[in-house]
A and B are shown apart, each in its own frame.
Chain A
């Protein structure tokens, strides 16, 4: 069965620090990977996605993620975080091969950025 795990449950950083959030997946089909962000009181927004091609994916707000097939990983990175990046971050994979609507989300990582 498809699954995804996020190892960092709660991360606290100071502004300008670098960020890396871990995501590992177990997936039996064509790999589609997503990072979603949920700012306090707001809707889930797509940060970035990987469907194929360049394994280094750039998303919105300066975020990027690298798909490393050999490690089954899709870690999220940002060189310098801002206070406004405080949010819940979810990694996700399709629950069925090719079904990008039936998403399985990781447990989420709460990022707190201190000003």
Chain B
């Protein structure tokens, strides 16, 4: 089983709702990531946090707001999403952004926007 825990597993939200996705790891990893995966497509990077600071934002719309409260936790705050934002949202972690360390992925949150 994965050591990266994501909650909730499934989320249905309306376009006016505000919700948050949560991710937690206790492997001592200092880099954490949000990826988005549409059906039958590869994962695409959204955000990277390195040592709790935002390192990369892949031009993600502002309706997605990441937060890294500490080295073990990563949140993704959602507001005013569109139906096309429905996807599997994957959290991942690694020892470091520039260390030869592979990503460890969570099981993902399957988001449906109605």
Q: Which of B50, B56, B90, B102 contacts A34 (CB 8 A)?
A: B102
Name the distance in Å between B7's Cβ and chain A's nearest Cβ.
14
Q: In the complex, are the beta carbons of B48 and A102 less than 8 A apart? A: yes
Q: Which residues of A contact B103 (CB under 8 A)?
A: 44, 46, 100-101, 103
* Interface-lining segment among A14-22, A66-74, A77-85, A105-113: A105-113
Q: How many interface residues does chain B have, given as a range? A: 20 to 34
Q: How far is the CA of A95 from the CA of B103 in the complex (A)?
A: 13
Q: In the complex, are the beta carbons of B102 and A43 less than 8 A apart? A: no
Q: In the complex, are the beta carbons of A44 and B102 less than 8 A apart? A: no
Q: What sequence of 0s and 1s flags, for each residue 15-43 of chain A, a beta carbon within 8 Å of any chain B beta carbon?
A: 00000000000000000101010000011
**Number of A interface residues in the complex (CB < 8 A):** 22
* Interface-lining segment among B10-18, B63-71, B76-84, B93-101: B93-101
Q: How far is the CA of A32 from the CA of B102 in the complex (A)?
A: 10
Q: In the complex, are the beta carbons of B100 and A51 less than 8 A apart? A: yes
Q: Which residues of A contact B90 (CB under 8 A)?
A: 43-44
Q: Within 8 Å of chain A (Cβ to Cβ): is B61?
A: no
Q: Within 8 Å of chain A (Cβ to Cβ): is B107?
A: yes
With A34-B102, A45-B105 already in contact, the answer to whether A108 and B42 are too (CB < 8 A) is yes
Q: Within 8 Å of chain A (Cβ to Cβ): is B31?
A: yes
Q: How far is the CA of A107 from the CA of B43 in the complex (A)?
A: 9
Q: Which residues of B contact A100 (CB under 8 A)?
A: 94, 97-103
**Cross-chain pairs A/B with CB under 8 angstroms, 16 sampled:** A34-B102, A43-B4, A46-B102, A46-B104, A99-B98, A100-B99, A100-B101, A100-B102, A100-B103, A101-B31, A101-B50, A101-B96, A101-B97, A102-B45, A105-B44, A107-B41
